Amino acid sequence: MLVTDGKGVPLGFLVESANAAEIALADDTLATIQVPQRRGRAKTRPREVVADKAYDQDLFRTKLRWRGIHPCIPERKHRKPRPGAKLKLDSYRLRWHVERSFAWLQNFRRLIVRYERSAQMFEAFVLLAFILICLRQF
């Protein structure tokens, strides 16, 4: 899983096995964010989380609000809209930045098909790819 900023630069990631549900890994992935500041401790909490419909769960939304994070997650079609809850999807229109980050990762052939048996080696290659992506941005 991947967490990016508004420009698509990776902020945090989590490597797990393929049989785990993404919604179960979302909290752990958000906990990997560490943005250093000039003074004081690093920022570990984004202002807003923009996610797709797969993350539409009341428990996840409640956890985000409890941490002070605004969730921008569209509702699934089969759910009834909550009374009084009108979602502004202005931020959701910028979700293509995240999809672009996934496309940048696919430029590295080694990451498309996971050849490594250990998760630590794969995580090291993902980290190396993120370093190269960040160097291209700056």
CA separation for the pair 24, 70 (Å, rounded): 19
Encode pLDDT of 21-59 as tens digits: 888 888 888 888 888 888 888 888 888 888 888 888 889
- Cβ neighbors of 138 (< 8 A, separation 6 or more) are none
CA separation for the pair 135, 138 (Å, rounded): 5
CA separation for the pair 109, 103 (Å, rounded): 11
Domain assignments of the chain as residue spans, ordered by start: 2-137
Instruction: Write the DSSP string, 81-98.
Output: PPTT-----TTGGGGHHH
Encode pLDDT of 55-85 as tens digits: 888 899 999 999 898 888 888 776 666 665 5
**Pair 126, 3: CB distance under 8 Å:** no
